[in-house]
Amino acid sequence: MADITTINPATGEAIKEYNYMSNDEVNKIVESSHQAFTEWRKTSHEARAKVINSIGETLLKYKEELSKLMTEERGKLYSQSLQEIDLCKAICDYTAEKGVAALADDERDIEGLKKGIVTYQPIGVIYGMQPWNFPAYQVFRYTIANLMAGNSILLKHASNVTGSGLLIEKIFHESELPNDLFRTILIDHDQSEALIGHDKVRGVTLTGSDGAGSIVGQQAAKAIKKVVLELGSNDAFIVLEDADVELAVETCTQARLINNGETCVAAKRFIVVDSLYDDFRERIVKKFADAKFGDPMDDGSDLGPLARKDLQEKLHEQVEDSVAKGATIAVGGQLPEGKGSFYPATILENVEKGQPAYDDELFGPVASLIRAKDQDDALRIANDSRYGLGGAIFSKDEDKAIRLAREEFDTGMVYINGYGLANPALPFGGVKNSGHGREHGGFGIKEFVNIKGLHVHKSQ
């Protein structure tokens, strides 16, 4: 019996079977990765940038193949799979263009010294555990920055997108990158913990739930390894009394339903001030009611299936538990019959503390609609969460929105009058139970480097 069987969530049918690697095989891969690093670290920043560009170009040759496989394995709309590949290419382009300057030595005039130099040196093998919701983007987000920094990469992908993880390895290997600098490994949780403790592994990064982050964070701390954690969230999209309601409705709909609602930085709580609540509610309920689920390869589908049957079941349990504790269903909320792990676009109202819809992350197309008295109350509710990844503010007073985002909103990212999954030029990451460390924006490139201080003394 195979260790891994990938399943098409739209049909429930098996795609392919895989087996875990042996411990000996994994150890050989780690040793080869480390040896490749010892050479790669000596290459110039300019040479690395050229290789990064080649990765982006090779990726485009596989755009349709990888997009179709991602849609088959995890159910995302094919159109959004294609967009994900474009984002990965943009990450390559941005990193190649900006990476050389970002990693340049910083010379400082220091009293008593001839000069001081801050240099950013690679540290070695970086082990990444990545989730299924963005099978390509999550990998490129940490891989490209760390290759530019001079490190080598190991990937443990989510088992339900094993085929995507192996195809991504093939893409890297067909680029100008030496093969051993990127390897996809098929291992179980016990092997993963052993790998975190391996003396040749110098950094650990995880994108996943806060529960998984707590476990991996402890494992890395035990081994005294640097770790970056990008975890879940319950992002609040705040609609203030001077907001453009039509813009807010359009944006909140997209920001909740994109990627089948399976996005850590998606809009999950719509917090609307009292004066606009009824208008906003009427419009957004209609938008959600009109959203149709179906074959993710069909251009007419607004939503594909959730990535696995157990995820569909968990989401419905969270909805039912919230309703049992006082929430009401404005639209959706019914478990569909038939094949596949589909779930309808759903809005819950009367959402309060103590309900999963208020306290937890609902990973799917389910939104919580919450009435706030005013601006201060809206921000209080938004910050009343153990999470702090992203969020949004809608207001025609841009300066006010920027001030509130900067000073009052306790998250790592804030969108103002809009929404976007990620921008390679701005940092991505959160606070509180949403994790720590940053990717993108020139910050991810320095998460796993040795920030080395050189004290250059004057000759006697």
Burial label for 26, CB within 10 Å (0-12, 13-18, 19+), is buried
CA distance linking residue 242 with residue 252, whole number of Å: 16
DSSP single-letter state for residue 43: S
DSSP-assigned letters across all residues of 71-97: HHHH---HHHHHHHHHHHHHHHHHHHH
Q: 10 — phi, psi (to 5°)?
A: -80, -25
Q: By three-state DSSP, how is residue 44 classified?
A: coil
Contacts of 177 (CB under 8 A, 6+ apart): 51, 54, 55, 147
Task: Mark 120-151 as b/e (b = at least 16 C-beta within 10 Å).
Answer: bebbbbbbbbbbbbbbbbbbbbbbbbbbbbbb
Of 88, 92, 252, 264, the active-site residue reads 264
- Distance from first CA to last CA of the chain, Å, rounded? 72
Contact by Cβ (8 Å): 113, 458: yes
264 is catalytic: yes
Q: Which residue has the tokens 């300066």?
A: 399
| Dist CA 319 CA 334 (whole Å) | 9
- What is the gyration radius of the CA atoms in the chain, in angstroms? 23
Helix, strand, coil share of the chain (percent; to 5) = 45, 20, 35
Would you mind telling me the total number of residues written for the chain in this entry? Answer: 460
- From 230, 262, 439, 447, the catalytic residue: 230
Name the token pair of 68: 């179709």
Please give the DSSP secondary-structure letter assigned to residue 2.
Answer: -
Report phi then psi at 172, rounded to 5. -60, -40
Amino acid at 251: T
Q: Does residue 97 have an active-site annotation? A: no
CB 257 within 8 A of CB 302: yes
Best CA proximity match to 388, nearest among 284, 240, 265: 265
Could you tell me which of 24, 36, 51, 27 has the C-alpha nearest to residue 153? 36
Residues annotated catalytic, as ranges: 230, 264
